[in-house]
Amino acid sequence: MTSIRHLVSIDDLSIVEMGRLFEQAREFAVEPQSWSHLCRGRISASLFYEPSTRTRLSFESAMLRLGGGVITAADMGNSSASKGESLADTLRVVGGAYADLVVLRHSSEGAARLATEYSSVPVINGGDGSHEHPTQTLCDLYSLWVERGRIEGLDVVLAGDLRYSRTIHSFAYALARFGANVVCVPQPGFEMPEYVVRRLREEFAIEPLRANASRLGELAATSDVVYLTPQKPHQLSLFTDAKGWKVGRVDAVYMTRPQTERHPSVPDGDTSYLQLGKRAMKADSLRDAVVMHPLPRRDEISADIDADPRSIYFKQAARGVPLRMALLAALLGEVEVLEPAEPPGPEVHPVPEGANPCTAPTCISRTEQRHVTPRVRFQGRAPHRATCAYCSNDLVYDFVGCTTTRHYHAAASPAVRRIRPDHQVFFLDAAAAEALGFERGARTSPVG
């Protein structure tokens, strides 16, 4: 394992490391001006293939606070990329000679993962398409941790568009990892997707419970509220009646932004989106709840609660700088936060032969023309499940072949479980397998 650490996904950090990171960020936050000795002489490069001014400024401010320098390509999409330079070659040059750390923003899912394969310095994912934006999630977690002193056991309301916002999905997974409970208050029609709930169930043993949200008041008046908790039924029995789990005092409300294109008939000023205002904040359950929002907001949080001490969204945005300072200093090895190796995760292997099994049209493994080796992450044997190691989308396949026996089997067949992961080839249909010279395996034959 290489000793360079990267931050591509929130899963690249262990819970313990995140805890240390938050402690470090809180230390930096006391007097951010007094750390300019820490990373003197170090340079971070901002490689932005699509614009995101706020993310970029926050990183650059953090690096400058640490006494380092920044070099910036804010419009990579229209510079070397349009001349046809591959991401791999750009990283070989920038992430070696020019800079000691790279912050990458790209429109293709998996770009940051690809960058780590070619960079000799740490890479931070500043957002890769609709895939991950781990520093955003870290900032949200950090803010919650600062306000509440812990994350485990908190009751956090996620409200609004829970369907399309990947930021919200990442946040929900992270909360589950920390052992927090999630109260889903969706905009009707924008409920948490089934695949998110399924992953929460499979990885964190979380069962969705219907909830009685009368004490959430106006905020939940039109929603079917669902409670996601890792707690066991006997721990919940006191709070559950015929109408479901009774929502009591919650610790935080995280409002989401309606994404314009997802809400086509909601023109300005005529919003039917959930709104948090003075009246809604009077609800009994929200008495001690902090209000969070990723900003920029539209009308989902009305200005009449900006002065409410529970509204922390501006503080939340400001905390992005000390958190990113901690992350930069940690990845550059200037503070002791990270272990030498990433926490263990599922096996990743290059695809041994055949076509790229990733079918997502905007994944970096499809959009990048050169220097990409398709890779697969093995998520489970029974049921057999594999994802693209770049964009994390489920691979779509009906058959799996073995490169040593040259046999292929239906994906659900027990024979597949006996194929070594690095020998597996994925086929959309039988014709694709036959085209590569694979033969249909016998139902019972042992497979190596």
Partner 1 sequence: MTNQTHGESLLVRGARTFPPGPGARAVDVRVRDGLIEAIGAGLEAEGAEVLEADGLTIIPGLVDVHVHFRDPGLEHKEGWDHGSRGALHGGVTSVVEVQNNAPLSISREALSARLEHVRASSRVDFGCLANLLPASEGELEAMAPLTPAFKLFLGGSTGVGGQDDRETLARLFAAATAAGRMIVAHCEDEDLLREGKRSHPAATAAEHHLVRSTEAEVESVRTSIELCRETGAELHVFHLSTGEGARLVAEARAEGLSVSASTAPHYLLLDNERVAELGNIGKVNPSIKTADDAAALVRALSDGVVDAIGTDHAPHPLADKQREYSHAPSGMPSVDLLWPLTWELSRRGVMTPEAALAAVTSRAADTLHLPGKGRLTPGHDGDLVLFDPEERFVVRGAKLPSRSRWSAYEGWELAGPPRVVVRRGEVCLRDGVPTVSAGGRPLRLHPV
Q: Which residues contact 126 (CB under 8 A, 6 or more apart)?
A: 46, 48, 52, 55, 56, 59, 103, 104, 105, 112, 133, 135
Per CB under 8 A, 224 contacts partner 1: no
Write out the binding residues for partner 1, residues 75-134 only, by CB under 8 A. 77-78, 82, 107, 129-130
52 touches partner 1 by CB under 8 A: no
Q: Kindly tell me which of 396 and 442 has the beta carbon lying closer to partner 1.
A: 396
Q: Does 269 bind partner 1 (CB under 8 A)?
A: no
Q: Quick one: CA torsion of 210, 211, 217, 223, rounded to 10 degrees?
A: -10
Q: Which of 65, 366, 375, 377 binds partner 1 (CB under 8 A)?
A: 366
- Residue 358 CB, shortest distance to partner 1, in Å, is 9
Q: Is 360 a binder of partner 1 (CB under 8 A)?
A: yes
Q: What is the DSSP string of 275-325?
A: -B-TTGGGSGGGTT-EEE--S---SSB-GGGTTSTTB-HHHHHHTHHHHHH
DSSP 119-188: -SS-EEEEEETTS--HHHHHHHHHHHHHHHS--TT-EEEEEE--SS-HHHHHHHHHHHHHT-EEEEEEPT
Judge residue 50's burial from the number of C-beta atoms within 10 Å of its C-beta, 0-12 exposed, 13-18 middle, 19 or more buried: middle
> Does residue 296 bind partner 1 (CB under 8 A)?
no
- How many residues at the interface with partner 1, by CB under 8 A? 34
188 binds partner 1, rule: CB under 8 A: yes
User: What span, in angstroms and rounded, lies between the C-alpha atoms of 180 and 89?
Assistant: 42
Q: Which is the catalytic residue, given 5, 20, 56, 105?
A: 105
Q: Does 272 bind partner 1 (CB under 8 A)?
A: yes
State yes or no: residue 340 binds partner 1 (CB under 8 A): no
Q: CB nearer to partner 1: give 52 or 231.
A: 52
Query: Is 131 among the catalytic positions?
Result: no
Partner residues linked to 240 by β-bridges: 245
Shortest approach of partner 1 to residue 417 CB, angstroms? 23
Taking CB under 8 A as the binding criterion, the range among 86-94, 145-153, 339-347, 391-399 that sits at the site for partner 1 is 391-399
Active-site residue (options: 6, 42, 55, 56): 55
83 tagged catalytic: yes
Rounded (10°) CA dihedral 135, 136, 139, 143: -170
Least distance CB 365 / partner 1 (angstroms) = 12
We find the least distance from the C-beta atom of residue 264 to partner 1, in angstroms, to be: 4
Please say whether the beta carbons of 148 and 140 come within 8 A. Answer: no
The Cα–Cα gap between 138 and 7 comes to 11
CA dist 289 and 410 (Å) reads 51
Query: Among residues 31, 261, 309, 344, which is the contact residue for partner 1, using CB under 8 A?
Result: 261
Contact between 428 and partner 1 (CB under 8 A)?
yes
User: Which residue from 262, 279, 385, 418 is in contact with partner 1, where contact means CB under 8 A?
Assistant: 262
| Cβ–Cβ < 8 Å for 330, 21 | yes
Query: Is residue 55 annotated as a catalytic residue, yes or no?
Result: yes
Residues that bind partner 1 (CB under 8 A): 50, 77-78, 82, 107, 129-130, 163, 188-190, 193-195, 260-267, 272, 359-362, 366-367, 369, 393-394, 396, 428
Q: Which amino acids are annotated catalytic?
A: 54-55, 83, 105, 133
